[in-house]
Amino acid sequence: MKDPDFVLRIDNLESFYGPIMAIRGVSLVVPEGRVVTVLGANGAGKSTLMKTISGVMDPQKGKIIYRGTNITGMAPERVVRAGIVHIPEGREVFPLLSLEDNLAMGAFTRSDGAKAVQEDLDMVFSYFPILKDRRHQQAGTLSGGQQQMLAIARGLMSRPKLMLLDEPSLGLSPLLVREILTIIRRLNREQGVTMLLVEQNAKAALDVADYGYVMDLGRIVIDGTAETLKRSKDVQEFYLGVQTDSQRGQKRWKQKKTWR
């Protein structure tokens, strides 16, 4: 594909978390209108990747190209104005503000008038009706799942072209994980928001994604369509918990038996 087909292209990115090189020569692309997932264990560099894209962290090497423009090292507020919104791990809602005020904060970069903001507020409530019922409630009193919904809804209020979602399933029940990821897929299909989804829950992520990358120790080690990754013996062994007949898989399951 040519660059205009990509919302995001990352070339040979390197970024440090303190003294540790957390991202090592990462290259990936996110096509327009797709859901792309980045999988990996804790410490693989997934969150550092998201923070580097959104401008929270500066890379030491490489390029971040968004819709044909080099945004490497761009300040976070300019990244948001360009059309990228980052839903961080841990939600980070404003706990003492009402739910409605949190949503208003998501629209702070906009200048298209109160009517357009109200229309988007109605759209957000159509995807998250439980939030409408609690619109005057303090955000800190919501459940974990409701706070995650609020974080996504607040991001939508900025009218993003690309949404970066960092571990939206973290700490949630399987039922809530399924509900939130279903809403993410609906937003992609119905609102046209391109998604880059970071997840440890590989099965849930691959069920909604079009394409995926697997990170390990700061590097991309496997990539392919979601269906291809589901069939990959390495992904099945290390991320889906399925025993396979691969050499690595047999070794892993023999080790697992000795631990019991």
Question: With pLDDT > 90 as the criterion, what percentage of the chain qualifies?
Answer: 72
Residue 1 has pLDDT above 80, yes or no: no
The 3 state secondary structure assigned to 56-83 is CCCCCEEEEEECCEECCCCCHHHHHHHC
Residue where the block lists tokens 């829950």: 201
| Number of continuous H segments (helices) and E segments (strands) in the chain | 11, 10
State the pLDDT at residue 3. Answer: 54
Q: Would you call 24 helix, strand, or coil by DSSP?
A: strand
Per-residue pLDDT tens digits for 95-122: 999 999 999 999 988 888 899 999 999 9
Per-residue pLDDT tens digits for 28-44: 999 999 999 999 888 89
The tokens of 42 are what?
């804790």
Please give the Cα distance from 119 to 63 (Å, whole number).
Answer: 36
Mean predicted lDDT score pLDDT of the chain: 89
Residue where the block lists tokens 């949503």: 103
| Sequence-separated (6 or more) residues with CB below 8 Å from residue 252 | 237, 238
The tokens of 195 are what?
């998604």
Q: What's the length of the chain?
A: 260
Q: Residue 4: pLDDT band by 50, 70, 90 thresholds?
A: low
Please give the Cα distance from 77 to 85 (Å, whole number).
Answer: 10
Residue 92: phi and psi, rounded to 5, are 55, 50
Q: Residue 182: which of 207, 146, 199, 157 has the closest Cα?
A: 207
Domains defined for the chain, CATH in brackets: 3-90+161-259 (3.40.50.300)
pTM of the model: 0.87
